[in-house]
Amino acid sequence: MPAGALVDLMCWEHDQMRRLELAFKAQDREFDDVPFMPVLHPAGARTSYRHGYLWHGPDRARVFTPQAVAAAGVREVIAPRLHPLRAERLVALGAARALGLLAPASVLAGWAENVPSDVSEGEFDAGRWADYYHDLSVCFARNGEELKGRKIVLTVAGKRASAGDPGLFFHRSDGPSAALPALPPGLGKSISFVHTEIAWTGRRTSRRSRGRTWLEEQGLVRDYSPQALLEVLGDAMRKVREDDEALREHLLNGTCITPSACPIHAALVPHRL
């Protein structure tokens, strides 16, 4: 049966739904668990109100799309090819049953973490990564905190780091950060930098630069500065508070970060009782 016709068959008027529920109960089945809505993945499969989500992606998205989410292996995305009127009926019926079809931010955040696996395949594509972050800036315009802890940020090492990590930075070749010393081995494990070749500028600059600005505004990536580095150093020192040699190494490196570091050493060094 065509997907649209099956949706029409299942979307009864709200005041008549009890009859349909009883019919399924007679077959020892619950209406909310009946798979009748077509999904993108796997092809030809269907989902139910209990598990499916209707999502069309950010406006004019290029990377974070329903198709990309499905390609990453997510099975719950209802095919967006449904006629808008049918989609509206599904949403209305779900709302009446307290089973919303619209994906919450927490679910979208999980999908956003899945998509980079596909983006990472093959050769590095600077523009595609910039478009990915622009799409996220539209989808999570004011609730980027939902992405904290998600491995969505590509680093210079070619690995993905957790957004919001205190030691995740944009590296700048000018300004105060340019004069910062090389990272010591102990501190290097606590710090990573966003891939420097992501195409934040160039063609479609206004679109792609928005993704970079959004990452910083939402606290997902920090600007590399002496103050930020000192905060990471302080955290690293607290983790090795019983290791005098490690503390000494971190303290010496702190004095190299900025001339104003000395007055705050007392705040950085953990006090022992």
Please check the confidence at residue 119 and state whether its pLDDT lies above 60: yes
Distance in angstroms (rounded) separating the CA atoms of residues 253 and 240:
15
Residue with tokens 């302080």: 234
* Mean pLDDT of the region 215-237: 85
Confidence of residue 243 (pLDDT cuts 50, 70, 90): low
Question: Residue 214: inside a domain, yes or no?
Answer: yes
In-domain check, residue 170: yes
Q: Positive or negative, the Cα torsion across 245, 249, 250, 251?
A: positive
For residues 125 and 91, membership in a common domain is answered with no
Q: How confident is the model at residue 131 (pLDDT cuts 50, 70, 90)?
A: very high
For residue 244, is pLDDT > 60?
no
Q: Please tell me the distance from the alpha carbon of residue 36 to that of residue 82, in angstroms, as a whole number.
A: 12
Last residue of a domain, one of 103, 131, 162: 103
pLDDT confidence tier of residue 134, bands split at 50, 70 and 90? very high
Predicted confidence (pLDDT) at residue 33 exceeds the cutoff of 50: yes
User: Which of 59, 74, 103 represents a domain boundary (last residue)?
Assistant: 103
Residue in 153, 135, 175 with CA at minimum distance from that of residue 258: 175
128 and 171 in a single domain? The answer is: yes
Sign of the torsion formed by the C-alpha atoms of 131, 132, 135 and 136: negative
Count CB-CB contacts under 10 A for residue 255: 12
Indicate whether 127 and 219 sit together in one domain: yes
User: Which range, 4-18, 78-92, 221-235, has the best average confidence (pLDDT)?
Assistant: 78-92
- Percent of the chain scored above 70 by pLDDT? 78
pLDDT score, position 245:
58
Tokens 């539209």 found at: 138
Q: What is the pLDDT of residue 2?
A: 84
Instruction: Return mean pLDDT, the chain.
Output: 84
What pLDDT does 178 receive? Answer: 57
Rg for the chain, CA atoms, rounded: 25
Highest averaged pLDDT of the listed ranges 15-24, 183-192, 223-232: 15-24
Provide the number of structural domains found in the chain: 3
Check residues 207 and 202 and name the one with the higher pLDDT.
Answer: 207
Indicate whether 81 and 173 sit together in one domain: no
Question: Domain range holding 41?
Answer: 3-103
- 98 shares its domain with 129: no
Q: Is the pLDDT of residue 260 over 50?
A: no
